[in-house]
Structure formats: structure tokens, C-alpha cells
């Protein structure tokens, strides 16, 4: 998948050569560079609500088709995801089985890969953006009110993406805006 540039370079989750450390290093470098130029950055920290559990299978398969993934691979993933059921057991009592129509199987090898295929929110975003799986930081140097409008426009694009692809931001974990204008020494 990396060979075909399927993943955005801003995504650092579940990829060889990428990690939360590489994401943090790139983000810190960008902020430090701006601070060296005496620039202020606005940062918005975003998190998807129940991200792995809410990926709609139908839309994931649609996205795989859009990316030009081989139809045999899509058929295999369709078989992998469909006809899954789940039950809940509490104190030895089981619920009725229910059909699972969303979510990528957590703890599987394929689950993270399918999630990364699904959650590419960077298209059309002009501000800096860094992702680690479902965690995201959107940031931009702010020199005037136009720059604030640009980061707001990018936030709107992400919101529109969420609506289109049936994902939700976790507002309890979203921090906006953080203003970075000085290095803090401890």
C-alpha cells in the first residue's frame, strides 16, 4: 500500500517507519520553526469518536473502489467484513446475536490497514495536518485574520468529510484553539 502512495504522508499510525514519535517530531519541528520566525500558530487537536468501531463497511468498500484497489481484494475484504455477529455475555447470560455492519476488527492485522484506507481526511486541507490513526492536529501560522479564516475553512472541510463518511469528532477530546506563540521553559 505504501508502494502505491495510498496513504498520506501526514498519517503516522500503523505504518512502517512512522510512529507517534515521528508525528510529534514533525509537529514540534514545524512549531519551533515558526517560533524562530516569531510567528504564532493556532492548533486544533481532533479525535474521532469510537473511530475503529464506526467505520461503515459499505462506505469502506466504496472508498477502496475509489482508490482503484483490485476487485478481487475488495471481494475478499467484503467476505472478511460481512456476516459478522456479536453477542454480549454478562454474568453468564448471553444476548441475542446481532449483525455487525460497521467497524474494523480490532486486534486483527487487517483492521488498522482498513482504518487507514478509510480515514484520509487530508484532501483539500491547506493548513498543516498530522495524524496518528484517529488522532489529528491541524495547525497554521497566524499572521493576520485571513490565516484564521483559512484554518477555519480547513476545519469545515474536515467536518464536511466527517459528514460524508459518517464519522464523528469526539468533542470531549477536541481542543480548540491552542495558540502557540512562545517557547515555555520548565
Q: Mean per-residue pLDDT for 75-91?
A: 92
Q: What is the pLDDT of residue 160?
A: 94
Check whether 32 has a pLDDT greater than 60: yes
What per-residue confidence (pLDDT) applies to 16? 84
What's the pTM?
0.82
Q: Tell me what pLDDT residue 7 has.
A: 78
Domain spanning 20-55+106-180 has what CATH number?
3.30.70
Q: Is the pLDDT of residue 185 over 50?
A: no
Burial class (CB in 10 A: 0-12, 13-18, 19+), 131: buried
Looking at every residue in the chain, the average pLDDT score rounds to 87
Whole-angstrom distance, CA of residue 52 vs CA of residue 42: 28
Q: CA 128, CA 138: separation in Å to the nearest integer?
A: 6
pLDDT of residue 175: 72
Structure confidence at residue 18 (pLDDT): 82
Encode pLDDT of 97-139 as tens digits.
Answer: 999 989 998 889 999 999 999 998 888 999 999 998 888 999 9
pLDDT at 177 over 70: no
Angle, helices 71-81/110-118, rounded to nearest 10 degrees: 110
C-alpha cell at 171: 468533542
For residues 72-76, average pLDDT: 97
With both helix axes pointing from N to C terminus, report the angle between 57-66 and 110-118 in degrees, rounded to the nearest 10: 70
Amino acid at each position: 500500500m505504501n508502494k502505491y502512495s495510498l496513504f498520506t504522508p501526514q498519517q503516522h499510525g500503523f505504518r512502517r517507519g512512522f510512529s507517534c514519535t515521528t508525528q510529534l517530531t514533525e509537529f514540534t519541528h514545524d512549531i519551533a520553526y515558526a517560533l524562530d520566525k516569531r510567528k504564532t500558530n493556532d492548533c486544533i487537536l481532533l479525535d474521532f469518536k469510537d473511530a475503529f468501531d464506526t467505520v461503515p463497511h459499505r462506505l469502506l468498500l466504496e472508498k477502496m473502489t475509489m482508490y482503484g484497489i483490485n476487485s478481487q481484494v475488495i471481494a475478499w475484504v467484503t467476505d472478511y467484513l460481512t456476516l459478522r455477529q456479536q453477542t454480549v455475555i454478562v454474568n453468564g447470560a448471553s444476548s441475542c446475536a446481532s449483525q455487525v455492519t460497521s467497524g474494523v476488527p480490532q486486534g486483527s492485522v487487517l483492521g488498522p490497514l482498513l482504518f487507514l484506507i478509510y480515514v484520509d481526511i487530508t484532501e483539500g486541507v491547506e493548513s498543516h495536518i498530522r495524524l496518528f490513526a484517529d488522532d489529528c492536529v491541524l495547525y497554521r501560522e497566524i499572521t493576520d485574520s485571513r490565516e484564521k479564516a483559512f484554518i477555519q475553512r480547513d476545519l469545515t472541510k474536515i467536518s464536511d468529510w466527517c459528514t460524508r463518511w459518517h464519522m464523528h469528532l469526539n468533542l470531549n477530546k477536541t481542543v480548540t484553539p491552542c495558540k502557540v506563540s512562545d517557547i515555555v521553559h520548565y
